[in-house]
Amino acid sequence: MQSEDAVQNPAPAAGGERAAERPEGFQRVAAALAAKSHPQAPLWLDVAARTSQEAADALGVSLGQIAKSVVFRRKTDEHAVLVIASGDKRVDEKKLKEHTGPLGRADADYVKARTGFSIGGVSPLGFAPADGAGPPLLFIDRELFRFDVIWAASGHPNGVFKMTPEQLQTLTGAPVIDVVQA
């Protein structure tokens, strides 16, 4: 793992001086983590990590330890579906459809409108959907449980937070399913 010099800790909790200086999405995630008494405050990376590989490189961890958020559009009602999966795995839409029904692709505008986050910074919590859409339907892929520690985006490409897979399930309340390609 890289030295701590590669990562800056903005504040021990939401509302701290440094957290208040960060973008609004990062602040929402920091507040959500604090409200759920998560022991790890989000970190601000010195570099943007818009992809799982960039996040893994910046943190000095394996690609699989990055809990990426993949957003789909449910065709029956336009509701957002968010799968939290290991960075080294690809979501199998056919497996996911068994839990959601028909799905479509979600472009950048849809993702922003339905989560409140831009692609590259979509967090598994702290949503701010527009137009009263409600939060996304969440799923966690079982493959994340291969790791003791995982990292997820915290509302901005420069923001991440650390947790165990069990903590992710507790934070989100999302069911754990098998939805990645073999």
Global pTM value: 0.88
Across 7-158, the runs of DSSP E, i.e. the strands, are 7-8, 43-45, 66-74, 80-86, 103-105, 137-141, 150-153
Instruction: State the Cα–Cα distance between residues 118 and 128, nearest whole angstrom.
Output: 11
Q: Which residues of 91-106 are buried (b: 16+ CB within 10 A; e: fewer)?
A: bbbebbbeebeebeeb
Strand partners, 139: 83
Mean pLDDT by 10 residues, the chain (182 residues): 38 47 94 96 95 97 98 96 98 97 96 95 94 92 98 97 98 98 90
Nearby residues of 16 by Cβ (< 8 Å), 6 or more positions away: 10, 41
| Helix or strand holding residue 176 (H, E) | strand 176-177
Query: Is 41 exposed, middle or buried, given 0-12, 13-18 or 19+ CB atoms closer than 10 A?
Result: buried
Q: Which residue has the tokens 């989000």?
A: 42
Q: Does residue 60 come out as left (phi exceeding 0), alpha (psi in the -120 to 50 range) or beta?
A: left
User: Residues 18, 1, 170, 137: what is their CA dihedral angle, to the nearest 10 degrees?
Assistant: 80
Helices (H), 60-164: 93-100, 108-115
Q: Which CATH superfamily is domain 4-177 in?
A: YbaK/aminoacyl-tRNA synthetase-associated domain (3.90.960.10)
